[in-house]
Structure 1
Amino acid sequence: MFVLGHFVHRHLIVGGHWHAHSLFIISAKQFKFCDIQSNYTDLSVMGKISVFVLGSISLIIRRYVEQYKEQDLRTSLSELEPDLGLPRIDTYDFIIVGAGTAGCLLAGRLSVFFRVLLLETGGPPPTTVNNPYFFRQYLDDPSINYLFTTRQKYISLESGGIFNFSQGRMMGGSGSHNYNGYARGSPLDYDTSRDIGILINEDKMAYGVTYLRHGIPQIAHASRDVIISAGAILSPLMLMKSGVGPPQILRDANIPIHEALPGVGQNLGDHPLAQLTFEIGNAAAAAAFDAILPESDFEKELIKFHSTPRDGVFAKIRAQQAFLVSSRAKENGEKGWPDILLISTLFPEQNTSQMYFSIALGRPRSRGSVTLNRKAYLSREVNDENLAAIDLGSLADHTDLEVMLEALRMVLKIKETSAFKRLDLKLSSVIPPSCKIYRFDSNNFWKCYITHTTKTFWHYSGTCKMGPKSDPFAVVDSKFRVFGIRALRVVDASVLPMSTGSNTNAPTLLVAEKAACCILRNHLQPNFGDKFCPLDYPWLFKPVVDPHK
């Protein structure tokens, strides 16, 4: 079995001491309710039906989040009532901190054989996130996301290098609202992570967590392992606040050092993302792609969406991916290993339509870091969004900019092919004023555009790097065990030594499957046979054929 606990404050118990992890406060929003019968029965007041319907998405998300929170509060108070105000120490076989892509999968695998406590700050995903049409609305919604701020030296210069980026805060984490993106990448992405050696210090042990359940202190012990699955931003932050990490950072924050691991928070990988926007000039061609949503057809599209099976504008994903090999990769003898990711996307609009080309660098040489904001920590800041000092490091290696330029020019060539020419695409991207001093379409012009507009693809990895003990920046061994601390593992995208060349959700699922096998083999053998791990049954991973098609 496994128990899901929603929490707002958690501690990791290491070597007999408790260390603050984080305090997440979800404040209840106050809303003024109106008499809808008197306000919205007249279409002249309501205006366009599309605006009336689509303008409410953020409100719907908040309403569901509040409902889930209230339901869980009632359940929590009922369950905790017999404790008479003093926390009951519950013991589980495994405690998993973070119910994102990896944490949810891992909990499912382990709970077949063991008692598992799965802790998550957010609640169930609002149903709205299951509709990719609303991707742009729910991606940055504060009700279901952490919102971090970063200052960069080489990207997003249009805003002084400062921009916000999100990470999902709900069951499934960012995997619950990632536009259904699933790409394994190249087999070569994984070859560098094989045959890694292991060593572990037996003198120290993680044996439990403390956390707040709607503000009520709770303590849980793990008889086998504590597993951190909080993602590439929060997992290293949790380790550092628990005394595991770069020694100077810990000393500056007055955190007792349990294990000096300089690699914690280092090696942050991300896919820098630039975008070109084009107006589709040929309305007939746009209509063939269902790319225009006239106001007169809006209700028809609602009927299609709620039919069985779902159909129409709101039920389709209009994104295509292409993986390409750059000149840099070819020069390095990697002609079969793509390092450029291109995505074309259509979002139906009211009277016109736009096509977006996203340009991402799949295997950047630049690396960043996640560190602890020591000043904020010492001032007793408890919000992880303020405690995480994040440097994506994007385009710090100048050759990454050259690859991005090459990728952008590939898009401009694709635009001129016969298949795309009939769309009559016209560049409509907003050009930063600083770039207008360069001749249009020159290399300097597009380099300026890239450095001023590039942001993140939300593909963070590498901050708790897997590697041999001889690697000074390795944090976990090949069985996901944190060096120097017994019974503590990290299982999420943070363990990937290098960025995979595509979306990171599928590799994260692989990480969790591999970790589940390692843990089950460690704790079940020799009492069970060899084939109790899902990876032992390849047929489980074959695509399921829809009988209705």
Structure 2
Amino acid sequence: MATILTVASFFALVCISQQARAANYTFMKDAVHAPRTGFYDYIIVGGGTAGCPLAATLSARARVLLLERGGSPYEDARVLNMAHFSDVLADTSASSPSQRFVSEDGVINSRPRVLGGGSCINAGFFTRAGAGYVRAAGWDPREVRAAYRWVEDVVAFRPALGPWQAVRMGLLETGVLPDNGATYDHIPGTKVGGSIFDADGRRHTAADLLRYANPDGIDLYLRARVAKILFRFKGTKPVADGVVYYDSRGNTHEAYLSPGAASEVIPVGGGAGQPAAADAQRHRPGRPPPLARHRNVILDLPGVGQGMSDNPMNAIYVPSPSPVEVSLIQVVGITRFGSYIEGASGANWNSHPSGTQPPPPPPRNFGMFSPQTGQLATVPPKERTPEAIARAVEAMSQVPDAALRGGFILEKVLGPQSVGQLALRNLNPDDNPSVRFNYFAHPDDLRRCVAGIAAIERVIRSRAFSRFTYQNFAFPAALNVTAEFPVNTLYRRGGDPRALERFCRDTVMTIWHYHGGCQVGRVVDRDYRVLGVDALRVIDGSTFNASPGTNPQATVMMLGRYMGVKLLKERMLLEG
């Protein structure tokens, strides 16, 4: 009897097969196997969300070196399985794909340490930047659309909504209109976005985009720690010449640019990594000494590390009388007042996208929002010490199972207008920098947060969401579950701004959308060339003045492809 596959089943098998082959990329090796010296047309520092598509594109017509400080996502089954999303964030070991850091504001955050970057540890939502954002960036809209499609053919999927995503109907019922259906486009109203998780809950990351790479045009080394960029000088102007990197055994390797006007070093360290790398290259004004190519600092660019922003996020936990599914971000309400509303669930892990029960997670893990993952709303930021986190984990262990059945509705502030800065603590590339985001320093950010929390209350009280709330639901009680202070002494139905302002400040968390530090006009030009330096570009989220769309990962991947195509065109012109 012949076996007939549905179209969906066929493509699922194709995707699984492609990921299996990706784990055996012939050009991917541990850095201990790298030559002591090599020569390349492009040296890309960072195999993350932008680095992978950039390297894959450039390898078509050039020799490319891609250096990644972490390992392969195909080596860690947790990375590729949505059921273990929170386990990766909760892992604070030295080999974890997620490197935890705490901002000077007291907000716990994570940096990726794995090929594929943030696409390996995030909640998976996939959505494009708005048309206005594309215009402001000076990008060619036609080339942008082509680059998005190139990415989407490999990593983007239409999610099947579970019950908790009734947040969608709640948003529509409460006036977050129009209903934009399922779309990757950024349009005001309510929509179902894309996901990098497929129907079986399997994650597809930026590393999968390396399937496009020309194997003969690329060397990819894992666990390669880049210590410095090397420079030569054209007169008094520094010109990037190569990099020094170390493998896991501490051996030193050097990679140099091949002769040619088009050869470049391209750091793509991401929102927190890239400004730190750039900070290590700064130097006070003045003529460099003869051996400056081996110095740690080269040029003074005051904008390096400045303009750092993180979209503040606040979430309301809603205990549910009905079972909930494992559900990450799938629906978004793009409001007119400058806040994005989204939902995530799965505190009790009652079901799984494939219909099978996943292995049990660590006990009392709220999934996306928990002390284990560093998402800690129940303790104000400045009090989030290791001891406070340990107490919160212990307190969670005492809560009855029924109380942990539920999910979250969150709001994220558009923008934001509050900005901070980043600086190195030392020159060790493995150590976290000092970062301050200054959450809610600008009053408009606080106003948008208050409006977002009020919108969440309306969604929770909507008919569409009634199956997930207990009778006589009291919204102040939900605030008190999330934040341990007597907000109901200030809060009354309709929302006292004083109470909600306090709630915003005391429960602020990150949703990992930090950006800035190497911004266009301050550190790089509109083609991402570092100002005052030749043969050096920065192509990643650190160049953004604002986070694109509701979630940046699709645009960061797009930018890697977009700029790769642009650089190849420039190369062809220079080579005649």
2:496 aligns with 442
Change (3 A) 1:416 1:271: same
1:201 and 1:485 in contact (8 A); partners too: no
Residue 345 of structure 1 pairs with residue 393 of structure 2: no
**Structure 1 residue corresponding to 2:137, chosen from 189, 193, 210:** 193
Deviations 1:497-516 (A, max 9, x none): 22324111012122212211
SS at match of 2:506: helix
Shift of 1:195: 7.8
Partner of 2:431: 385
CA distances 1:99-141 after superposition (whole Å, capped 9, x unpaired): 0000011110011111111111111112212222322221242
Match of 1:83 in 2: none
Cα 1:512/1:341, change in 2 over 3 Å: same
Q: What are the superposed Cα offsets for residues 180-225 of structure 1, whole Å, 9 maximum, x if unpaired?
A: 21111422223322289xxx99822011000111211111102211
Residue equivalent to 2:371? none
1:78-157 alignment to 2 at 5 Å?
Answer: 79=33, 88-125=36-73, 126-142=76-92, 143-152=96-105
Structure 1 residues 526 and 487: CA distance shift in structure 2, 3 A: closer
2:128 alignment partner, one of 176, 180, 184:
184
| Alignment partner of 1:280 is 2:320 | yes
| Matched-pair contact (CA < 8 Å) for 1:231–1:494 | yes
Alpha-carbon offset, residue 496 of structure 1: 1.5
Paired AA for residue 247 in structure 2: R
Aligned partner of 1:510 in structure 2 is 558
How many Å apart are 1:257 and its aligned residue? Answer: 5.3
Cα distance in structure 1, aligned partners of 2:272 and 2:284: 14
The aligned residue for residue 241 of structure 2 is: 207
Alignment coverage as a number of residue pairs: 378
2: CA distance between counterparts of 1:99 and 1:262?
27
Distance 1:266 1:320, change over 3 A: same
**1:362 partnered with 2:373:** no
Q: Deviations over 1:396-444 (max 9, x none)?
A: 1012101100111011111222111233254543333374653455321
Q: In structure 2, do the counterparts of structure 1 residues 383 and 218 end up closer, same or farther at CA, with 3 Å as the change threshold?
A: closer
The partner residue of 2:108 within 161, 164, 169 is 164
Say if 1:317 and 1:269 are closer, same or farther in 2 by CA, change over 3 A.
closer
- The 3-state SS of whatever aligns with 2:569 is helix
When residues 202 and 191 of structure 1 are mapped into structure 2, their CA distance, relative to the original with a 3 A threshold, is: farther
- In structure 1, stretches of 5+ residues that fail to align are 1-66, 81-86, 153-161, 248-254, 292-312, 327-338, 468-473, 529-549
Specify whether residues 274 and 91 from structure 1 end up closer, same or farther in structure 2 by C-alpha distance, changes over 3 A only.
same
In structure 2, do the counterparts of structure 1 residues 140 and 246 end up closer, same or farther at CA, with 3 Å as the change threshold? farther
Q: Is the 8 A contact 2:303 2:519 kept in 1?
A: yes
In 2, the alpha carbon distance for the partners of 1:414 and 1:76 equals 51
Inter-CA distance 90–465: structure 2 relative to 1 (3 Å threshold): same
Alignment of 1:492-503 (within 5 A): 492-503=540-551
Residue 171 of structure 2: aligned partner: none
Percent of aligned pairs sharing the same letter: 26
AA at the equivalent of 1:236: P
Q: SS of 1:433's equivalent?
A: coil
How far the C-alpha of 1:245 sits from its partner, in A, is 8.7
Q: Match for 1:98: what amino acid?
A: G
Instruction: Look up the equivalent residue of 1:420 and give its one-letter code.
Output: F
Contact 1:279 1:355 in 2 (8 A): yes
Letter of the 1:203 partner, please give it: K
Does the residue aligned with 2:446 lie in a helix, a strand or coil? helix
The equivalences for 1:49-68 within 5 A come to none
Residue 254 of structure 2 corresponds to 219
Contact 2:36 2:252 in 1 (8 A): no
1:385 Cα offset (Å): 3.1
- 1:464-543 aligned within 5 A: 464-467=518-521, 474-525=522-573
Describe the shift of the 1:136–1:518 C-alpha distance in structure 2 as closer, same or farther (beyond 3 A). same
For residues 100 and 341 of structure 1, the distance between their equivalents in structure 2, rounded to whole angstroms, comes to: 26
- Compared CA separation, residues 108 and 372, structure 1 to 2 (3 A): same
**Equivalent in the alignment of 1:432:** 484
Structure with higher Rg: it is 1
Amino acid at match of 1:131: N
TM-score (norm 2): 0.61
Question: In the superposition, relative to structure 1, how do residues 436 and 409 fare at CA in structure 2: closer, same or farther (>3 Å)?
Answer: closer
CA distance in 2, matches of 1:149, 1:518: 37
Structure 1 residues 402 and 76, CA, compared in 2 at 3 Å: closer, same or farther? Answer: closer
User: Which residue is 1:7 aligned to?
Assistant: none
Deviation at 1:89, TM superposition (A): 2.0
State the partner residue of 2:333: 322
For residue 93 of structure 1, report the CA deviation from its aligned partner.
1.1
1:128 partner letter: R
Structure 2 residues without counterparts, runs of 5 or longer: 1-22, 141-233, 287-294, 351-400
Give the secondary-structure state (helix, strand or coil) at the position aligned to 1:204: strand
* Letter in structure 2 aligned against 1:204: P
Secondary structure at 1:138 match in 2 = helix
Q: 1:241 aligns with which of 267, 280, 291?
A: 280
1:24-56 CA distance string (max 9 Å, x none):
xxxxxxxxxxxxxxxxxxxxxxxxxxxxxxxxx
Match of 2:267 in 1: 228
Q: Is the 8 A contact 1:206 1:488 kept in 2?
A: yes
State the alpha-carbon separation in 2 of the partners of residues 76 and 147 from structure 1. Answer: 24
